[in-house]
Structure 1
Amino acid sequence: MKRAFLPALFASAIILLSCSTKPANDVEKEEPKVADSTGFTVKTIYSELSNPWGMVWLPDGRLLVTERAGEILVFKNDKFTGEKLKGVPAVFNKGQGGLMDIKLHPDYKKNGWIYITYAKPVEGGATTALARFKLNGNNITDLTDIYTAKPYISADFHFGSRVVFDKDGYLYVSSGERGTQPKVQELDNDHGKIHRLFDDGRIPQDNPFVGQPGAHGSIWTLGHRNPQGMVYDAVNNHIWEVEHGPKGGDELNLIEKGKNYGWPKTSYGINYDGTVLTPNKELPGIENPKHYWVPSIATCGLSIVTGDKYPGWKGNLLVGALALMHINRVTINGTEYKSEQRLLQNKGRFRYVAESPDGYIYAVTEGPGALLKLIPNKK
């Protein structure tokens, strides 16, 4: 969520609140439709998750689900095997910190690399880290951090983070701003940015700020608050991102090289105490969101439907909503937001939604912690 800096003592509690106030001068928006869910049924695969964050399918059919406390659970044939991966790195399991996203390398069948993001304990606090590893059975091997956000921050909130690969094999990882508002607009730090790397952590020399004095060369875009959703649209070669606003102003952004997405100079949200965060919703040189939510739905996790199992859904974005507890199905027209529908209202705090290799939609929730599967009804 985009918000003004608050002491770390209060930040973790506040982020969990549903945001219901909108700026007095904000434009009235059409109420999104609550979707008719009769086209599918919901199957609960597992109901004992604790703060799940990410999930990914291995070629052998196993599903890996990350939990923030630092565990990776193994599922097979829509059942929990009772197994967990061994050798997960130590995580900073405090506040919003912990184990987060998980992603396979595009050439996983050849090289075996799996990527995770996590809050890494460091001197003075924690930082967003990106690591990769291989598997030998359920044992993690060859574990290596290939990126850590710097400088290190003591705050226990706004770590981000998600990982995507594009068609050329470049890796993108998002990093939250950690409450360092002014620094988000500066290039001498990694916070509130999306970074572009080679798959081993090296920095591509055609990144937009490479060679600029004092700038961190990994930066691809800046001006983000807490980006907890990101997906690559392979059909159109686009990267979409969602991030938390403060009290109002969650954003859907189209990510493009070198652009500035505004935080904290621009926002459609306000401070938690109701005061004005910034008078600016738009500014020259700032990339406007393709859509924003007031009140905040607390966006988390983002995927794109590529299959045909759900009529009319192909090409839609699926956004997890924490505070308003639903899956948000967003229809896009090229690079523009078109409409949305809310699915599974009040079913839980949706942390992530993903499409399996065989085209089914799965979701993980917290409060209650569950793994769900959306099964299309037979015609």
Structure 2
Amino acid sequence: MSSNKHFLSIALVAGTLSIWTACGPKEAEQGTEQAFTTETEKMVIKVDTLYNELENPWGMTWLSDGRMLITERKGEILIFKDDKFTGEKVQGLPPVHNVNQAGLLDIAAHPKHAENGWIYIAYAKHFEDSTAATTIMRFKLEGNNAVNQEELIVAGPSWKGGRHFGSRIVFDNEGFLYFSNGDKGNIPMNAQDLTNAHGKVHRIKDDGTIPTDNPFVDSVGAEASIWSYGNRNPQGLFFDKATNTLWEVEHGPKGGDELNIIEKGKNYGWPVISYGINYDGTQLTQFTEKPGMEQPVHYWVPSIATCGVTVVNSDKYPGWKGNILVAALAKQHIARVVLKDNKHIAEEKLLLGIGRVRQVAESPDGYIYAITEATGLLVKLLPIQ
């Protein structure tokens, strides 16, 4: 089955795709090419389906030799070269706690991968009492084998079940590593408790040691790796090196998904403040804002189920540069968010109906890629002027 035929079948199953513009919705032709209008000029995007057999994919990264790695939550890493699956997978990875949302999650190559060969993964580490904890480890590739494995940090305490594990990995301009960890679901106030690692964004050095300028490193009883807190379930994290900004998206409950700028030591409010409600429709909290708690740059009601996030820095997509792309699981699209002075001014739904988008990322050569659950797709967005 060809890539184009596969995408066409997805489009037909999903029905006619609606593309939102500044003038409202319009109908797009079914197939691999979707026409829509940016704020500056018209552009046609060809959606090239590179692979259609992914099983619960989660993260992707590019190595310095051009290969791309994609994680699957069950605990495997697939190897791609020149946009094609090589048929090979990374061998020798640690076992993972593959339960519900937990498993093998994100992956990131070290910024200096060409020099040191390090690759980082976030996964749910399984313990003998059937609990698990979000864990960051690194390894190098010797052929396809994961060697020199080093466990860097376990975001404890370990927890039963498989809800709200986060987790993304990004590096900043100074080489510090940030990772996100969800509140674990059944005790939301974990996110306000500095004595545990849940419901937080963390910052460590690339070898797992704790930076001495972390905000709570001298606070008695606090987890020294914490960078921010009050984050419900952050499944999207991106460091924009052009603006030195750490962007995060997190799932709200029923409504209240958030887009945040994450800053040192700040409290993002969960579960004390929220724009969402309980899943049964009852009130979660009477507060949407409170002194000492940060407001999101944008929030979604109803939820789109935010996941991966990236900032477009490529010149290949006229009119998109500086826009934020947010993967939407429940609403099955990519949200193109337009900001001015870090305020939401417009939004466009891209690839509506393609499936549950887990991650969206920009490759080193400037192209946008996305992976989907259920439909199991790896797609590449090719701009046609």
Q: TM-score, normalised by structure 1?
A: 0.90
Matched, 1:130 2:136: yes
Distance 1:59 1:34 in 2: 40
The residue number in structure 1 matching 2:290 is 283
Count of aligned positions = 349
Q: Residues 61 and 108 of structure 2 are in contact (CA less than 8 Å); yes or no, is this contact kept in structure 1?
A: yes
Matched, 1:243 2:245: no
Q: What letter corresponds to residue 251 of structure 1 in structure 2? A: E
Map 1:1-379; keep pairs closer than 5 Å. Answer: 37-38=34-35, 39-124=44-129, 125-179=131-185, 180-377=187-384, 379=385
Residues 78/190 of structure 1: CA separation in 2 closer, same or farther (3 Å cut): same
Aligned partner letter, 1:170? F
Equivalent position SS for 1:149: strand
Tell me how far 1:155 sits from its aligned partner: 2.4
Q: Is the 1:227–1:243 contact (alpha carbons within 8 Å) kept by the matching residues of 2? A: yes
**1:106 positional shift:** 1.0
Per-residue deviation, residues 93-124 of structure 1 (Å, max 9, x unmatched):
11111111010111111111110001110133
Runs of 4+ aligned structure 1 residues displaced above 4 Å come to 31-36
Give the structure, 1 or 2, with the largest relative contact order (CA under 8 Å, sep 6 or more).
1
Amino acid at match of 2:284: L
Q: CA deviation at 1:338?
A: 2.6
**Contact 2:47–2:381 at 8 Å: present in 1 too?**
yes
Mapped to 1, the partners of 2:102 and 2:82 lie a distance apart of 30
User: Does the CA-based 8 Å contact 1:245-1:296 persist in structure 2?
Assistant: yes
Deviation of 1:33 (Å): 5.5
Q: Per-residue deviation at 1:34?
A: 5.3
Percentage of identical aligned residues: 58
Residue segments in structure 1 that go unaligned for 5+ positions in a row: 1-30
Letter of the aligned partner of 2:49 in structure 1?
T
> Which 5+ residue runs of structure 2 have no aligned equivalent?
1-21, 29-33, 36-43
Is residue 68–residue 79 contact of structure 2 (8 Å, CA) maintained in 1? yes
Amino acid at match of 1:374: L
* Alpha carbons 1:87, 1:140 under 8 Å: kept: yes
Distance 1:364 1:32, change over 3 A: farther
Structure 2 distance, partners of 1:235, 1:169, is 14
Q: CA offset at residue 279 of structure 1?
A: 0.5
Distance 2:66 2:319 in 1: 27
Q: Do the aligned residues in 1 keep the contact of 2:152 with 2:208 (CA within 8 Å)?
A: yes
Displacement of 1:140 in angstroms is 0.7
Give secondary structure in 2 for the equivalent of 1:152.
strand
CA positional deviation for 1:367: 1.6
Contact 2:332 2:357 in 1 (8 A): yes
CA RMSD of aligned residues (A): 1.5
Q: Measured at CA, do residues 80 and 271 of structure 1 come closer, stay the same or move farther in structure 2, by a change above 3 Å?
A: same
In 2, the alpha carbon distance for the partners of 1:289 and 1:33 equals 25
**Counterpart amino acid of residue 81 in structure 1:** T
